Amino acid sequence: MDQQDLCFATIEQLSNLFRSKTVSPVEYIQAQLDRISATEAKLNSFITITGEQALSEAKIAETDIMEERYKGPLHGISMGLKDLYYVKGIRNTSGIKVHDQFVPDYDSTVAARLKSAGAILTGKLNLAPLAMSGTGKNEFYGSAKNPWDIRMIPGGSSSGSGTATASGQCTVTMGSDTGGSIRIPASFCGIVGHKPTYGLVSRYGVSPLAFSLDHCGPMVRTVTDAALVMNAISGFDPQDPSSTRADPPDCLANLKKGIESYTIGVANEFWDVPIDTEIKESVMKAINLLSDLGATIKNISWPDIYESVSFGHLISISEASNIHAKMARTSGDPLIDDVLYKYPRIQAGLFMSAADYLLAQQWRLRYTKNSRKVFDQVDVIVGPTLQMAAFPIGSTEIKVGTKVDKVENFVPTYTRPCDQNGFPAVTIPCGFTKTGLPIGLQIAGKPNQDDVVLRAAFAYEQASGWTTRRPEF
């Protein structure tokens, strides 16, 4: 296996290579660092690269595996963390220069669990400042570029996580998702991105955007890799007040059992908003393939699905302003003024009343209750992840179908609903446009049934083969 093949290998393949002593973790990590060195100038996936530390840890992993101290499938595997996951001793910028020199003195729970499983950090990844944009634009550290076409956005806010995974710079990356920030870049970059059930994965030590909406999840190249990472990071954490005490689902146990028993819902409302023809055609082909695999397809109604976009925005800006209140009320510091000028919604939330916020949360409770009734009819709901494929960096308005509108009014349309109700949702590649840009299929399920969602995604992945495609970069 050559260096590039190593960089695109799955966790299972790499684990077998390490244990059979065919390839050492040191050789693999060096291949990853060489890949980063060769591509980073064009992609800008990273804010901080930890190459020396990664090689040191790879040598330890090599010795441990040679001496039968194997920790499991993530032992020796490279990981990149969105630069809002705290890692002790490594700066954490949250994508803004204000925090350029902030160095945490403890690990986030996710980082600690991945380290405990043997994963090796190769760096902290680029993102939209404070995780506030679905395009991934970053004026402070430069924007990441889509490896399928570097003129196009990678999506955000977990932009570097999407580009690093898709380009073979990392095997595992972690993103965060408040309105779609795992699934948007995963879809635009042609990878698998899983937003877990709310509370299933701890957010302790992760810089927040909106505390009642934030989710942490993996961005990888295959569904099996997503399941492996989910099993490593899921579970109750007393340090996160939103962490669920329910036993986490085993995402691997039934992954390969097929979907003949599944009833899959397709919401009629998916087609009530503008959507590019190529996207709809690819999604419909994917739905037909799921039917061919034995699932029962059921047209359903999700009548209030798009209400979540309006009240979700009210909730997110209110909570973001609360979290960043000190910065929002500060003036005179050029670094802070620059952030506030470019991201006015940090201050906008200060003008939201408590009554407005509580009303939005009441709408959300009603919406979540109604969502449960919708999902009670089916095992999962399948539809588009996005209304369009990636578009040029710097775009402020785009045309989708026959409608021209601001970018931010299109991007989170299909992703925000499952942030508001906290239900699990994964995006998986389901085709490419005529210009070679990835198209994503979103599969959503019931709370704490992440395994059910990933099982459907695995069945589709195996039958379609889209996740084997690589960008020619």
Catalytic residues: 82, 157, 181
**Secondary element (H or E) of residue 451:** helix 450-464
Task: Annotate 179-200 with b (16+ C-beta within 10 A) or e (fewer).
Answer: bbbbbbbbbbbbbbbbbbbbbb
Asked if 160 and 144 count as a contact pair (C-beta separation under 8 A), the reply is yes
**Which strand (E) or helix (H) includes residue 427?**
strand 425-432
The amino acid present at 274, given as its one-letter code, is P
Per the listing, tokens 């040029």 go with 392
CB 446 within 8 A of CB 425: no
Q: Distance of CA 99 to CAs 48, 83, 95, 339, Å?
A: 13, 11, 8, 11
- Tell me the three state secondary structure of residue 7: helix
User: What is the rounded CA–CA span in Å between residue 316 and residue 324?
Assistant: 12
d(CA 233, CA 241): 16
d(CA 55, CA 70): 18
Strands 215-220 and 438-445: unpaired
Categorise residue 7: left if φ over 0, alpha if ψ from -120 to 50, beta otherwise.
alpha
Structural tokens at position 206: 């992760």
Is residue 45 within 8 Å of residue 169, measured between CB atoms? yes
Among 431, 433, 455, smallest CA distance to 441 is for 431
Tokens of 447: 């709370």
Q: Which of 118, 185, 158 is nearest to 427 (CA)?
A: 185
3-state secondary structure of 50: coil
Q: How far apart are the first and last CA of the chain?
A: 18
Radius of gyration of the chain (CA): 21
Closest CA to 153 of 172, 134, 131: 134
Tell me the CA distances in angstroms from 47 to 72, 134, 193, 333, 456, one per residue in order: 29, 18, 21, 23, 35
